[in-house]
């Protein structure tokens, strides 16, 4: 996008655009280009929020603390890192919000050793081999296409398309005895599967 286009859309002068682009680059924004040619902001970069309200800060702190308690080690680390970044952009009067927040998440007693591999295969849209024990105690081996992870008070549940049943199935994580990524991409995009599952379940 050219500086002229940016200036027109934002209703500022070209000089302001050039100055602000230079400031963003100096602060580490991955912007490529130069005056006279145009600019590109590489994907994956997020500008920090300008301000959070008190309720928003409470919601973020509580959500991240719940993730830290119920996620795998990678999610726990990510939640801590995200909270540190949020605290870093809070105004001075709110900088101790996380340390003194009354929004707490209690520890969970459920172990979810396969959450990491499930998340990774879901993100990559790869199939997953499961050894699973159903509620009647019957053990089965399944190849599934992971679609979503749902967190309930009583259990964490994997939503997946089951190749054996040729339908969507729900697998409690605490009943999974083994989970192994196949490295094979499943034939549908996950967002399509998610939309189909939501339609089948009557979820808006």
pLDDT single digits (tens) 107-126: 776 657 899 999 999 999 99
The domains of the chain, with CATH numbers, are 3-41 (no CATH), 54-100 (no CATH), 115-201 (2.30.30)
Three-class SS state of 126: strand
pLDDT single digits (tens) 156-183: 999 999 999 999 999 999 999 999 999 9
The confidence score (pLDDT) of residue 14 equals 86
**Residue 194 CB: number of other CB atoms within 10 A?**
15
pTM of the model: 0.70
| Residue 60 tokens, joined | 């973020």
pLDDT single digits (tens) 16-61: 988 888 888 877 778 888 777 788 877 766 655 556 777 888 898 8
Give the H or E element holding residue 146: strand 139-151
């Amino acid at each position: 996008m050219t500086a002229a286009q940016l200036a027109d859309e934002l209703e500022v002068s070209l000089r302001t655009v050039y100055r602000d682009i230079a400031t963003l680059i100096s602060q580490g924004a991955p912007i490529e280009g130069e005056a006279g040619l145009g600019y590109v902001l590489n994907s994956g970069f997020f500008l920090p929020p300008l301000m959070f309200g008190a309720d928003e800060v409470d919601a973020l702190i509580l959500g991240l603390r719940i993730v830290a308690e119920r996620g795998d080690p990678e999610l726990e680390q990510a939640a801590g890192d995200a909270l540190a970044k949020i605290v870093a952009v809070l105004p001075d009067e709110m900088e101790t919000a996380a340390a003194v927040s009354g929004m707490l998440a209690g520890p969970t007693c459920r172990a979810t050793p396969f959450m990491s591999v499930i998340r990774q295969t879901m993100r990559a849209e790869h199939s997953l081999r499961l050894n699973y024990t159903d509620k009647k105690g019957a053990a089965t081996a399944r190849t599934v296409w992971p679609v979503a992870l749902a967190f309930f008070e009583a259990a964490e549940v994997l939503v997946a398309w089951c190749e054996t049943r040729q339908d969507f199935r729900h697998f409690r994580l605490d009943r999974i005895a083994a989970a192994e990524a196949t490295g094979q991409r499943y034939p549908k995009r996950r967002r399509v599967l998610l939309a189909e599952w939501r339609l089948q379940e009557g979820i808006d």
